[in-house]
Amino acid sequence: MSQKVNTNIRIDKEIKEKAKKIASEQGTNLSTVLNMYLIDYIETGEMRYKKLNQKVETVKSEGLSDDDLNVLSKMPEFNSLIKTFAWM
């Protein structure tokens, strides 16, 4: 298991509170959300985000079979981690 460290970052108070509320509603916390974002950033080298009412369309498809691509094309948009893992 990797060693955990504390990191201090400056975030607008309103953004933090909104994100904290959403994360809680989805059954997680900000630490997990930020770790997931950073892992994705490391793996893809991309700063991916979506604006309101826009889907993130970036999918790294190299090495995926046609069946995998078909499944990904039908993947719904999730609003909670629990629903995401249940779909998987």
Q: How far apart are CA 50 and CA 58, in angstroms?
A: 10
For position 5, what pLDDT does the model report? Answer: 87
* Of residues 38, 47, 28, the one with CA closest to residue 4: 38
Determine the pLDDT at residue 35.
Answer: 87
Question: What do you get for the CA distance between the two ends of the chain, in Å?
Answer: 24
Q: Each residue of 32-72: pLDDT tens digit? A: 888 888 888 888 887 776 654 555 555 555 666 777 767 76
Single-letter residue type at 22: I
Burial class (CB in 10 A: 0-12, 13-18, 19+), 51: exposed
* pTM for the predicted model, two decimal places: 0.52
pLDDT, position 52: 47
What tens digit of pLDDT does each residue of 4-25 get? Answer: 888 888 888 998 999 999 888 8
User: Can you point out the beta strands (E) in 1-88?
Assistant: none
